[in-house]
Amino acid sequence: MWIAAIAVIGKQNNPLYIKTLGKNGDDLKFHHIVHTSLDVVQELTSKKESTQADKYLGQLYPTEEYKVYGYITNTRIKFILIVDYDSRAKEADLKQFFTKFHELYADTVCNPFYTFDENITSQKFEERVTELVSSGVPS
């Protein structure tokens, strides 16, 4: 599995959804990596013009075991993707993954019973994320 974890972070940098995948079960470690990446996201987004069309932020930083990538929506919701360091995923593959993940997120928040900027607890979202990851980019 090439993805170790994926997170959705709210406007106020509050975690809305964090999913760890595969054999990497150290949740606290991934929470720390996600939290640390928010500083890099803030730095990158303060430099970019607010009208910039590309929401993909690219690689935020590497760790010894993982690479961390970012994406930001027009509503300032952040997606953080943590992949295995030796993953051979290409930039185009990562952009495509983020675009599909953004579509899943949009479908979920359009639910009239979802309160914006609260934790995502939808079972359907969980299933669709698992499906997206399993059909994703080969490592």
Q: CA-to-CA distance for 16 and 26, rounded, in angstroms?
A: 18
Rounded to 5 degrees, φ, ψ at 133 are: -65, -45
| pLDDT of res. 50 | 52
Identify each DSSP E strand in 13-120 by its residue range.
15-20, 56-62, 66-72, 78-84
Q: What is the tens place of the pLDDT at every residue in 1-47?
A: 588 899 999 999 999 999 988 665 578 888 899 999 999 999 888 87
Cβ contacts of residue 55 below 8 Å, gap of 6+?
71, 72, 73, 74, 98, 102
CA-nearest of 6, 4, 7 to 26 is 4
Which residue has better confidence, 103 or 28?
103
Secondary structure (3-state) at 3: strand
Q: What is the pLDDT of residues 43-81, one digit of tens each?
A: 888 876 555 566 899 999 998 889 999 999 988 999 999
What is the rounded average pLDDT of the residues 99-115? 91
Per-residue pLDDT, 23? 63
The model's pTM: 0.89
pLDDT of residue 8: 96
Task: Give the model's confidence band at 139: pLDDT under 50 very low, under 70 low, under 90 confident, else very high.
Answer: very low
> Which structure tokens are listed for 7?
């997170």
- Average pLDDT estimate for 98-107: 94
DSSP 115: P
* Angle, helices 123-134/91-109, rounded to nearest 10 degrees: 160
Q: Which amino acid is at 80?
A: I
